[in-house]
Structures are given as structure tokens and as C-alpha cells.
């Protein structure tokens, strides 16, 4: 035998994941395996509007295009419109 293979199965799930990697060492020689995710980036699909009386919290529900396996960050801004601070 002059060569052989090591097969590492992966799971095609529906989660958006960061790139994953592992290291393997055979006979003192190292290599890296990298798993690239095949799901599309998770984007904001919609944000609900809300209207409340003063003194009551406004709640806006943000809907995403998919499920993430870890926390994600999204930028948002307040456009003050007619709000007086």
C-alpha cells in the first residue's frame, strides 16, 4: 500500500454556520480539513411596524430568512421622523 484515504462525513443541515475546521495528524504529518457552509447568508426579511400610546413600549419583530447556529449582528438606525427627544 502506497497511499490510503481518510473520509470524514459531513451533515448538510439547514443552519447557516461559520466555516468549520479540524486538524488531523498521521505519522507526524499534519493536515487540515475545512467544511464550508452551503446555506445562503441570513438576511432580514421583514420588520413589523408598531403604534402605541406614550408610556408604552413599541415592539418591532424582525424576521430573518433562515436560522443561524450562533449569534449574528445586524446594523440598524433610527430615523427620527417626528419624534422629539
Residue 42 forms part of a structural domain: yes
CB 22 within 8 A of CB 32: yes
pTM: 0.57
Asked, for residue 49, whether it belongs to a domain, the answer is: yes
Q: Give the closest residue to 68 by CA, choosing from 35, 46, 44, 47.
A: 44
Domain assignment present for 10: no
By C-alpha distance, which of 59, 84, 62, 72 is closest to 17? 72
**Domain count of the chain?**
1
In a domain, 73, yes or no: no
Residue 61 domain boundaries: 15-68
d(CA 15, CA 38): 9
Q: Which residues of the chain have pLDDT under 70?
A: 83-85
For residues 42 and 72, the answer to whether their CB atoms sit within 8 Å is: yes
Are 31 and 23 in contact by the 8 Å Cβ rule? The answer is yes
Q: What is the predicted pLDDT for the residue at 2?
A: 95
Amino acid at each position: 500500500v502506497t497511499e490510503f484515504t481518510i473520509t470524514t462525513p459531513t451533515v448538510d443541515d439547514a443552519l447557516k454556520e461559520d466555516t468549520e475546521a479540524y486538524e488531523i495528524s498521521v505519522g507526524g504529518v499534519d493536515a487540515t480539513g475545512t467544511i464550508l457552509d452551503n446555506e445562503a447568508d441570513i438576511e432580514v426579511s421583514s420588520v413589523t411596524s408598531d403604534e402605541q400610546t406614550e408610556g408604552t413600549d413599541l415592539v418591532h419583530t424582525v424576521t430573518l430568512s433562515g436560522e443561524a447556529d450562533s449569534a449574528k449582528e445586524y446594523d440598524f438606525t433610527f430615523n427620527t421622523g417626528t419624534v422629539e427627544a
